Structure 1
C-alpha cells in the first residue's frame, strides 16, 4: 500500500497523500491488483523451503493483515490548518466488492485477533449473498482459507465459518463447484474433528450436518466419509441424540441414507422429499 501511495505522491510533490483525495478508481484498482498477487502467493508458500522464508515472513504477513484491517490514516490537518479527525481506510470495508472481497481473504489468512476475524467473516458472509460474491469465492479458491478457522480452538469463530459454508450450500448454480472444492481430505478431517468434539453445541452440529448432507449426495465423497469414520460417528450421534433436536436427527438420517448406511424406511416421506 505504501508503494502505491508513493507512486501518487511522486506525481503530486511532497504533500502527504490522503487516499480519499485520489481519483475514485485509482486506489481501488491498484489495491485490487496488488491483493490478487498476495492471495496467489499464499498458495505457493507450502512449496517453499520454510528455512528460507519462515523467519521473516511471519512478521511480514502479520503486518499485511494489520494494514489491510486498519488501512491508511489521512493527515489530520486540513490545508487550511484546521484540525480534522483522522480517517481510517479499512480496505476490507470498501464499497468496491472485488477489493473488499480480496481484502477480507487477506485478513482471514493473516490476522490472529479474534475480533478482526469475526468482522471479516461477517463481511464475507454478507458478500456471499450475491452471485458476484459466490463467483469470487470460487475463483480465489477460498474454501481452505475459511476452513482453516473451523477448529475447536476457535470456538468463537466456528459459527461464522459455518454460516459462510451454508450460504454456499444453497441450491444455486455455484453449488456443484463449491461441493467439489470441499471434497478434500483436509476438509473432511476438519469436519470429523468437529463432530467428535464432546463440547460442541447442537446449533453448530445442525449447521455442519446441512453441509455434510449436501456432500453425502456426491458419490465420490463416500471414500472421504469412510476415511475419517464419519458414518460411525454419525450413527453414534443418531443413537444418543435428544429427540427434541428433530432437525439434526433428520439431517443425520439423510447423510447415512445417501452413504448407504441406512435403509430408506428410516426416513419418512416428508423427510425424503426435502433431503434426497
Structure 2
C-alpha cells in the first residue's frame, strides 16, 4: 500500500468527520433554538457559538497515549461534546487540542492532522464570511426596517396633517353653511312674525267687521219688525178708513149742534195726526159683528158641518190642522182685542170669554213656527198687556185716538178692570195674559206679587192649572232675569204647598223644559241660600215621582245635590235635610226600577 494508504484513509476519515461535525453543529443549533424558547436561563447565542468555532486552533500532540490512563474514556468523550444528542452521533470537536484525545485507531500522521486543521480553518473563515454576510444583511434589514418605520411615521404625520387640514376645511365650510342657514332661518322667522302680525291685524279687523255686521243685522231685524208692525197697523187703519168717514157724516146728522161742533173740533185736532175720532157704540158694534162673523164661520166649519156628516168634531182631528187654527186665531185676535178694550165695566158678559179667547190664541201663536204671525201682532199684544195692567179701558183705537160715546166724551173710567178687577177669575186670566205680552220688569214684579196672593186659595190654584200656567213663567226663570227669579220661585213654591191640586201641579212640572230651566237656576253662580231652599222643596216633592229620575240624571241635578251635600258645613240644616231627602227618594226610585225590571 505504501505511504499513500494512510493519507487516503486520513482524508476519508476527515471528510467523514467533517460531515458529522457540521451535522452535529447544525443539530446543536436547532436544539439551542428550541431550548431558547423553553428555558430562559439556558439560552445560547449564535454569535457566541460562532465565536467558539472561529477561535484559533492549536495543533495538539498527535502522539498517541502510551499508557492506558491517557486513553479517552466514554465519560471524557461526553464532556467534549457541546450538547449530547439523544442519538449516538460522533463526538464534536471544537479545538485542535481536543483531537489529541481521540484514539488513534486509524493511525493518523501529524501531516494529516495539519491538513485537517487547515481545512477547519478554511471552514472557520468561510463561516466568518457567511456570518459577516449575514450580519451585513441583518444591518441592511434593520436599516430598511428603520427606513420603513421612518417612512411610516412620515406617512402617518402627513396623513394626520392632511386629515386635520381637510377637517378644518370641512369645519369652516360647515360653519359658513350653518351661519348661512341661521341667517336664512332668522329671515324666515322675521317673515313669519310679520305675516302673523298681519294675520292678527286682519283677524282683529275681521272681528270688528263681524261685530258691526251683527249689530247691523240686529238693527235690520229690529227695523224689519218695526216695518212689519207699522205695515200691519197701516193695513188696519186703511181698513177702518172708509167706515170712519161714514161715521163722521153720521155724527153731523145725529148729534146736536153744540156736541157736533165739539166732536168736529176733536176730530180736527186729531186729523193732524192722520186719524179721526169715532163714537164708541158704533165701533163696538162693528167689532162685535166682525168677531161674531168669524166665530160663526169657525163653529160652522169645525163643528156643525162635521156633525151633520157624522164626522168627529174634535179639534185634534186631522181635518183641522194646527196651521188652520193659528191662521184663524191670527184673524180674530185683533178684533177680539178691540172688543175687549171697549168694555167699560168688569161685569160685562163678554169680558171673560174674550180674555179666554185671547189667552188661548196667544198660547197657540207662541207654539207657531211662523215668525210672521208673531211679529205682525207684537205691538198690538204689547199694548193689550199694558191696558190690562192699568186695569182701565183705554177706549182707544189702534192709532191712539180717543173714542166718544153717544152723549158725552169719557176721559176716564171710575171702575177698575182686568188686572185690578175684584173678580178672581178675570184677575188671574188678565195676569196670565200680561205675563205673555209685556216685558217691563216693574210691571211683571207687581203681577207676580198679586198672583202669589191669589194662589193662596184653592180656587186660584185650580184656575192656575186649568189655564196651564206653569210654562208661562219659565221665560222669567233664567239666570239672566235675576230680578224676577225669586218671584217666579215664590209662585212655584206656593203651588207646591199641600193642596188637592199638588199632584196635578207636579205633573205639569214633570217635563224636560221645566227641569232644564230649574237646573240652570240651581247651578247659577252666586245663587242665594233662600233660593236654594225654595228649589229644594219643589225638587224634594218631584223626586218622589219615579218617572222624574231620568230628568234629575240628565240635567245633573243628582250630582249637584251630592256635591252640595258634601259641603254641608256651610249649608243650612233645612237645605241639608232636603238634599238628603231628594237623594234618598232618587235612590229608592232606582231600586224600584231594578225590581220592576227583574
Q: Give the TM-score, by structure 1 length.
A: 0.79
1:85 shift after superposition: 7.2
Residue aligned with 1:153, SS: coil
CA distance in 2, matches of 1:52, 1:85: 35
1:129–1:95 CA distance, 2 compared to 1 (3 A): same
1:215 counterpart = 2:539: no
Match of 1:104 in 2: 431
1:179 counterpart = 2:500: no
Equivalent of residue 458 in structure 2, options 131, 139, 142: 131
1:156–1:241 CA distance, 2 compared to 1 (3 A): farther
Match of 1:121 in 2: 448
1:57 shift after superposition: 2.4
Residue aligned with 2:526, SS: coil
CA distance in 1, matches of 2:461, 2:509: 14
Confirm or deny: 8 A CA contact 2:445 2:484 kept in the other structure.
Answer: yes
Equivalent of residue 67 in structure 1, options 370, 377, 387: 387
CA distance in 2, matches of 1:18, 1:44: 24
Residue aligned with 1:60, SS: helix
Residue aligned with 2:375, SS: helix
Match of 1:193 in 2: 520
Residue aligned with 1:25, SS: coil
CA distance in 2, matches of 1:142, 1:194: 19
**More deviation, 242-251/90-99:** 242-251
Match of 1:240 in 2: 567
Question: What does the per-residue CA deviation read over 1:118-169, in whole Å, with 9 as the maximum and x for residues that have no partner?
Answer: 1111111111111110110000000000222111111111111111111111
Equivalent of residue 42 in structure 1, options 318, 338, 362: 362
1:109 shift after superposition: 1.1
Question: What does the per-residue CA deviation read over 1:12-47, in whole Å, with 9 as the maximum and x for residues that have no partner?
Answer: xxxxx9965x5x622xx3221111111112332244
CA distance in 2, matches of 1:125, 1:39: 20
1:52 shift after superposition: 2.8
1:51–1:160 CA distance, 2 compared to 1 (3 A): closer
CA distance in 2, matches of 1:236, 1:162: 22
Identify which of structures 1 and 2 has the higher relative contact order when contacts are C-alpha pairs closer than 8 Å and 6+ apart: 1
Match of 2:553 in 1: 226
Confirm or deny: 8 A CA contact 1:231 1:261 kept in the other structure.
Answer: no
In the alignment of these two chains, the number of paired residues is 246
Residue aligned with 1:95, SS: coil
1:31 counterpart = 2:31: no
Match of 2:533 in 1: 206
Question: What does the per-residue CA deviation read over 1:25-84, in whole Å, with 9 as the maximum and x for residues that have no partner?
Answer: 22xx32211111111123322443424313312222212211111232589xxxxx9x99
Confirm or deny: 8 A CA contact 2:366 2:374 kept in the other structure.
Answer: no
1:171–1:47 CA distance, 2 compared to 1 (3 A): closer
1:116–1:51 CA distance, 2 compared to 1 (3 A): closer
Residue aligned with 1:125, SS: helix
Match of 2:471 in 1: 144
Confirm or deny: 8 A CA contact 1:32 1:99 kept in the other structure.
Answer: yes
1:46–1:116 CA distance, 2 compared to 1 (3 A): closer
Confirm or deny: 8 A CA contact 2:549 2:586 kept in the other structure.
Answer: yes
CA distance in 2, matches of 1:180, 1:258: 17
The CA RMSD measured in Å over matched residues stands at: 3.0
Confirm or deny: 8 A CA contact 1:91 1:99 kept in the other structure.
Answer: yes
1:245–1:135 CA distance, 2 compared to 1 (3 A): same
Equivalent of residue 250 in structure 1, options 577, 580, 584: 577
Greater Rg over alpha carbons, structure: 2
